[in-house]
Amino acid sequence: MSKRSAYVTDLRTLQAECTANFVRLERLLSSARGGDCLEIPLAGRAGRFGTLHLEVLERAPYTTLLRVSQSGVLDDMIDSPRMQVHLYHDVQMAEVTDFQRRRHFQGRYRYPNAQMHQPDEKLQLNRFLGEWLDHGLAHGHDVRVTETP
């Protein structure tokens, strides 16, 4: 029987994902200010299937705090994904810091664990954000900027 080795955080891949997410968000947020909410209707060949929401919660000289969520046709059946993302302007990285109201993800987890986090949970969340933003960039139409009260 072979001994399982512990998961080692792939810091280079995590940083690359966070840098790519920063670039994606900068493209989407180019006209947003603090307090703004961008609504990006998502549509495909079969018609409209949801809206991607990007809400700027805080904007400071070196950081921006953003809420990312989506509403759509399945809202009555499942919880829509939502997360908070910190953008670090000095290092040009964006990191998921809250997902479905769970906060402070570690770089690695022992597996199994009580919360059933995957060993590379942090990387997976940031990768999910990247895929979500790519989807918004590919299928988003007529971006609307509104000010939140």
Residue 83 lies inside a defined structural domain of this protein: yes
**Which of 48-57, 108-117, 138-147 tops mean pLDDT?**
48-57
Of the chain, the percentage scoring pLDDT greater than 70 comes to 68
Question: pTM of the predicted model, to two decimals?
Answer: 0.78
Domain count, the chain: 1
Contacts of 25 (CB under 8 A, 6+ apart): 54, 66, 85, 87, 94, 133
**Segments forming the whole domain that contains residue 18:** 11-27+36-140
Of the chain, the percentage scoring pLDDT greater than 90 comes to 38
Residue 99 lies inside a defined structural domain of this protein: yes
Contacts of 57 (CB under 8 A, 6+ apart): 65, 66, 67, 84
Residue 50 lies inside a defined structural domain of this protein: yes
The dihedral sign for the CA sequence 32, 37, 41, 52:
positive
Residue 149 lies inside a defined structural domain of this protein: no
**Residue 119 near residue 12 (C-beta atoms within 8 A):** no
Residue 77 lies inside a defined structural domain of this protein: yes
Residue 146 lies inside a defined structural domain of this protein: no
SS3 percent helix, strand, coil of the chain, rounded to 5, is 25, 35, 40
Residue 5 lies inside a defined structural domain of this protein: no
Residue 51 lies inside a defined structural domain of this protein: yes
Residue 67, pLDDT score: 94
Residue 123, pLDDT score: 87
- The partner residues of 55 in beta bridges, in order of sequence, read 37, 67
